[in-house]
């Protein structure tokens, strides 16, 4: 199979004609295929009125394509509105009275961490693995995992500084203690090759709007086949039934596969967007994507440090994901300066996050470096 080169892939993103998009950690760039998919959804309403069979087919297509991306089966994927909903479905089905410890880190995305903290009312002992200068290693997880641990949450890549976690090693430590493993893959999946079998995780969640090149309103929760829930999912709805179209208000039957975690009607426009993005990623070589992004982030980080900038992201390629985090006293002001020059980045806390995808090239890096240099001189 012939895979697209970065230049060929880039041509599917019209924004690069006048914009430098370096904010995939927040929202992927708009592609021609995504635009067409959203138009197609509008067309189905105009042409057919309420073609639910057509729309549900698109939801199933998104489920199947996501499963293929991570090496899972469609039966192991639940379609949900957000990664936070996925985290809640996992947390709410645990019995914290038997294994109360829930291990997380300060590098966790806050929305997921907030779901974990809310489980304290149900008896969870939320414990944070130690962070060392923006890093959390396998030893830090192992130090707080014990026989009382029920769930260990490990991000694939941290939203905060681009730190790439040693997920497989952390999962090994968790499973050795009898705990389950939850992975938030939102900040890497799409540019980071992922196999749930290799990671050996029990759950994995990711939404479509960032590196998966879709829009908000849809996320996917992987649930390892054969896994059972100590507690039935309390947040449920008609799509969480064995036959959603039975329409029986007296029957609460849960499927045995991951669909038991679904609830209400999925976002159909978001499903169209997810399919468009996943279809584009299917035409790429995942290892080539990671190598391309690593080369760009290495160049960007090296040149920023050479110019005197201070980074929060790891310098070594193995521990840095697809973003470079630049420390700044006022990242919002820096971001606004860049945006006025059609360079889109993403400020968070005390850093400006500059994130990269397969569609980026060295011209984007050079434009960002020049604009940041101009900003420093103007200040």
Q: What is the pLDDT of residue 2?
A: 80
Q: What is the pLDDT of residue 1?
A: 62
33: helix, coil or strand? helix
In contact, 155 and 187? CB cutoff 8 Å: yes
Taking the C-alpha atoms of residue 350 and residue 353, their distance in angstroms, rounded to an integer, is 10
Q: What is the pLDDT of residue 113?
A: 98
Residue in this structure with the two tokens 């809310």, named with its chain if needed = 118
297: helix, coil or strand? helix
Residue 202 CA from chain centroid, whole number: 16
Taking the C-alpha atoms of residue 258 and residue 352, their distance in angstroms, rounded to an integer, is 37
Domains identified in the chain and CATH numbers: 6-22+285-378 (3.90.1150.10), 40-281 (3.40.640.10)
Instruction: State pLDDT tens for residues 29-71.
Output: 999 999 999 999 999 999 999 999 999 999 999 999 999 999 9
SS (H, E, C) 152-187: EEEECECCCCCEECCHHHHHHHHHHCCCEEEEECCC
In contact, 262 and 77? CB cutoff 8 Å: no
Within the chain, which residues score under 50 in pLDDT? none
> Other CB atoms closer than 10 Å to residue 82's CB: what's the count?
18
* Residues 6+ positions from 68 with CB-CB distance below 8 Å: 282
* Residues 6+ positions from 34 with CB-CB distance below 8 Å: 213, 214, 215, 273, 276, 277
Cross-strand partners of 320? 163
State the burial class of residue 305 (Cβ atoms within 10 Å of its Cβ: 0-12, 13-18, 19+): middle
H or E element at residue 336:
helix 331-340
Q: What is the pLDDT of residue 379?
A: 85
Q: What Cα–Cα distance (Å) separates residue 179 from each residue in 120, 235, 251?
A: 18, 23, 32
Per-residue exposure over 269-283, b if at least 16 CB sit within 10 Å of its own CB, e if not: bbbbbbbbbbbbbee
Q: What is the pLDDT of residue 99?
A: 97
Q: Name the pTM for this structure.
A: 0.97
Q: Six-digit token pair at 55?
A: 């729309």
In contact, 214 and 235? CB cutoff 8 Å: no
Taking the C-alpha atoms of residue 26 and residue 294, their distance in angstroms, rounded to an integer, is 18
Identify the CA nearest to 325 among candidates 113, 140, 157, 114: 157
Instruction: State pLDDT tens for residues 278-328.
Output: 999 999 999 999 999 999 999 999 999 999 999 999 999 999 999 999 999
In contact, 225 and 76? CB cutoff 8 Å: yes
Residue in this structure with the two tokens 């907030």, named with its chain if needed = 114
State the burial class of residue 296 (Cβ atoms within 10 Å of its Cβ: 0-12, 13-18, 19+): buried
Q: What's the angle, vertex CA 213, arms to CA 169 and CA 36, rounded to 5?
A: 155
H or E element at residue 141:
helix 138-142
Per-residue exposure over 221-235, b if at least 16 CB sit within 10 Å of its own CB, e if not: bbbbeeeebeeebee
């Amino acid at each position: 199979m012939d895979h697209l080169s970065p230049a060929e892939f880039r041509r599917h993103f019209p924004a690069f004609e006048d914009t430098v998009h370096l904010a995939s950690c927040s929202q992927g760039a708009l592609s021609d295929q995504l635009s067409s998919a959203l138009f197609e959804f509008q067309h189905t309403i105009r042409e057919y009125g309420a073609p639910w069979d057509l729309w549900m087919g698109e939801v199933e297509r998104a489920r199947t394509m996501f499963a293929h991306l991570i090496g899972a089966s469609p039966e192991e994927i639940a379609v949900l509105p957000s990664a936070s909903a996925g985290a809640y479905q996992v947390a709410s089905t645990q019995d914290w009275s038997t294994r109360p410890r829930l291990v997380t880190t300060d590098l966790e995305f806050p929305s997921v961490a907030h779901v974990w903290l809310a489980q304290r009312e149900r008896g969870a002992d939320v414990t944070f693995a130690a962070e060392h200068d923006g890093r959390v290693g396998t030893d830090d997880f192992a130090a707080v995992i014990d026989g009382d641990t029920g769930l260990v949450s490990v991000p694939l890549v941290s939203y905060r500084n681009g730190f790439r976690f040693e997920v497989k090693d952390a999962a090994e430590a968790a499973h050795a203690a009898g705990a389950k493993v939850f992975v938030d893959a939102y900040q890497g999946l799409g540019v980071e090759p992922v196999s749930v079998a290799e990671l050996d995780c029990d759950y994995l969640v990711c939404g479509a709007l960032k590196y998966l090149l879709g829009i908000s309103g849809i996320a996917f929760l992987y649930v390892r086949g054969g896994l059972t829930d100590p507690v039935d999912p309390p947040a449920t709805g008609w799509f969480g039934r064995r036959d959603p179209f039975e329409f029986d208000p007296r029957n609460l039957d849960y499927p045995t596969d991951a669909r038991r975690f679904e609830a209400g009607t999925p976002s159909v426009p978001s499903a169209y967007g997810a399919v468009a993005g996943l279809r584009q990623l299917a035409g790429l070589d995942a290892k080539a994507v990671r190598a391309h992004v690593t080369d760009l982030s290495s160049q960007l980080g090296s040149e920023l440090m050479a110019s005197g900038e201070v980074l929060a992201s790891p310098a070594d390629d193995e521990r840095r994901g697809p973003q470079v985090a630049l420390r700044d006293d006022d990242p919002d002001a820096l971001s606004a300066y860049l945006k006025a020059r059609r360079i889109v980045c993403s400020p968070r806390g005390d850093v400006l996050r500059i994130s990269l995808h397969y569609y980026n090239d060295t011209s984007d890096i050079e434009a960002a470096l020049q604009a940041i240099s101009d900003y420093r001189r103007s200040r």
